[in-house]
Amino acid sequence: MRQRKPAHPSAATARLLRAVAVALLVCVLAFDAQAQQRNPDQRMGRTVLDEASPHYRFESFAVDSPDGRRRWLVRVGIPTGKPPTDGFPAFWMLDGNAALMNFDRELLADLARNTTPVLVFVGYDNDLRIDSPARTRDYTFLADTREGSGDPGERIGGGADAFLDVIERRIRPQVAAHAPIDPRRQTLWAHSLGGLFVLHALYTRTGAFDTYAAGSPSLWWRGGAMLGESEQQFVAHNAGRQARVLLMLGGGERQRDTSNRDMNNPRVVEHLRRVSGAPPGAAAALAERLKQVPGLDVSYREFPGLGHGPMFRASLMATLHAVAGVTDRSQSPAPSAAP
């Protein structure tokens, strides 16, 4: 008796199945990121630091602030292969602990098959996934009133220039001492307030990096101040200096969903008021304006359905794809327990 061949799904059915799979993946990413965002005490857990790789070895060093009150921990992923004549490209990441949690053995192997950059994870001297107070201090270029504070004199943030000095004068020389770096091929990536910092670095330290990648930049900070004088001065004085700029946003960030927020909580209401300091389309509009600046190579990518939390991984993986040539993992979930 002849066996009947299984019927192949029609093209329409295949498209429907792919759409359902994508929708389910978006839900998984959103749920995972929401859980992480709502747990300020989440720890790193196991990462690629905890198992030897044939492609990378990891070293670390700490840097103290001049007054000795703050400490940054920098972890450096150094390719095991022979360095190019001009040195390795470098891929810098803020929120270094959280960024590490998105790497696994397969990604390291993929990097080794392509441009093989030195990986620079700039974080804080603890095992927190995200150190919110420290990053608010370091990643914002202007101080602002603390959320929920009735005292206008109670200020937070405003340390971006000091942190840029630490990166350029203290961290970068030590990274170069650990691995040969090509100064002409250096990328800076960061997310949220970190994305704001990336734009501030572009505006004030053009030439410090050749690629500036801002994921979901918090353009709302200080009433949208980044969209005012800072941008205008940069546009007027850039003088054709070249840089690549990658701007990314989640499509879900354009519609601020408050259905799962406690609107009876004054801090929640205050935060939502603050993030309305920039319109939902501000990042896309900024990209269009920067495209007109001589010397800049600007691209904008929006991720349908993704909210602010999932954009951390999506923008990091998309930037690695764009800069290092690895497979685009921006739609894949983070390793559950790397390696």
Q: 108: burial class by Cβ within 10 Å (0-12, 13-18, 19+)?
A: buried
Task: Write down the pLDDT at residue 28.
Answer: 36
Residue among 20, 26, 68 at smallest CA distance from 313: 26
Q: Which residue ranges make up each domain of the chain?
A: 47-324
Give the count of beta carbons closer than 10 Å to the beta carbon of residue 115: 17
Cα–Cα distance for residue pair 192/153, rounded to 1 Å: 25
295-339 tens-digit pLDDT: 999 999 999 999 999 999 999 999 999 999 999 999 999 997 544
pLDDT, residue 259, reads 55
The catalytic site residues sit at: 192, 253, 308
pTM here is: 0.85
Q: What is the CATH number of domain 47-324?
A: 3.40.50.1820
Query: Could you tell me the end-to-end alpha-carbon distance of the chain, in angstroms, rounded to an integer?
Result: 49
pLDDT for the residue 206: 87
- pLDDT at position 25: 39
Regions of the chain short of the pLDDT cut 70: 1-38, 146-154, 256-277, 337-339
For the chain, the maximum distance between any two Cα atoms, rounded to a whole number of angstroms, is 86
CA distance 157 to 80: 38
The neighbour count for residue 75, using CB atoms within 10 Å, is 21
CB atoms within 10 A of CB 278: 21
Q: 268 by DSSP, 3-state: which?
A: helix
Structure confidence at residue 255 (pLDDT): 75
Strand ranges in 155-272 using DSSP code E only, listed in sequence order: 155-157, 181-191, 211-215, 243-250
- Given a contact cutoff of 8 angstroms between Cβ atoms, the answer to whether 26 and 305 are in contact is yes
Q: Would you state the pLDDT for residue 257?
A: 59
Burial call 232-245: b when 16+ CB within 10 Å, e when fewer? eebeeebeeeebbb
pLDDT in tens, 216-238: 999 999 999 999 999 999 999 99
Q: What pLDDT was estimated at residue 34? A: 41
* pLDDT at residue number 262: 63
Angle between helix axes 11-37 and 311-324 (nearest 10 degrees) is 110
Give me the pLDDT at residue 201, please. 98
